[in-house]
Amino acid sequence: MTKKIISTNRKAFHEYHIFDKYVSGMVLTGTEIKSVRKGAVNLKDSFVKIDDGEVFLYNCHISPYEQGNRYNHEEKRTRKLLLNKKEIDKLIGKIKKDGYSIVALELFLENGWAKLEIALAKGKKLYDKREDLAKKAQTRDIARAMKSKG
């Protein structure tokens, strides 16, 4: 199984506490999958919603394919995600009961198929973000000090 990472949503790790992760397939048009293979994808402001028992990805930017002429796709089109019924039911329960959100974390190709890693997440407070930045700076300083010694 070959896995090629196309795009990662780094902002999600900064803005949210990440809990359960799921891998879903995506319904894409021909020009969209060609743009994905070129790496012309941005997950930065994308989010996932469940409507009538189906899961959709909103606000994901896939650039138009250069050779796509009139058959090209809309850049921020709503795209359907493919999950099992049990997984969708579990997500619906967590969202309604515990107030979680669903965020897109990573888009990758697996054996030629576009897959999206999504996660249940809760928004961080400002002090949580500051704590994370302080920890990251601390580990960076420790690594730098170890490198200069050794």
Q: What does the alpha-carbon distance between residue 26 and residue 83 come to, in Å, rounded to a whole number?
A: 9
Q: What is the pLDDT of residue 150?
A: 64
For the chain, list the domains and their CATH numbers. Answer: 3-124 (2.40.280.10)
Q: Token pair of 85, please?
A: 């019924």
Q: What is the pLDDT of residue 23?
A: 94
Exposed, middle or buried, 64 (CB in 10 Å: 0-12/13-18/19+)?
middle
pLDDT in tens, the chain (150 residues): 688 899 888 888 888 888 889 999 999 888 888 888 888 888 888 889 999 889 999 988 888 877 767 777 777 889 999 999 999 998 898 888 887 889 999 999 998 899 999 999 888 788 777 888 888 889 998 988 888 876
Q: Token pair of 36, please?
A: 């994905």
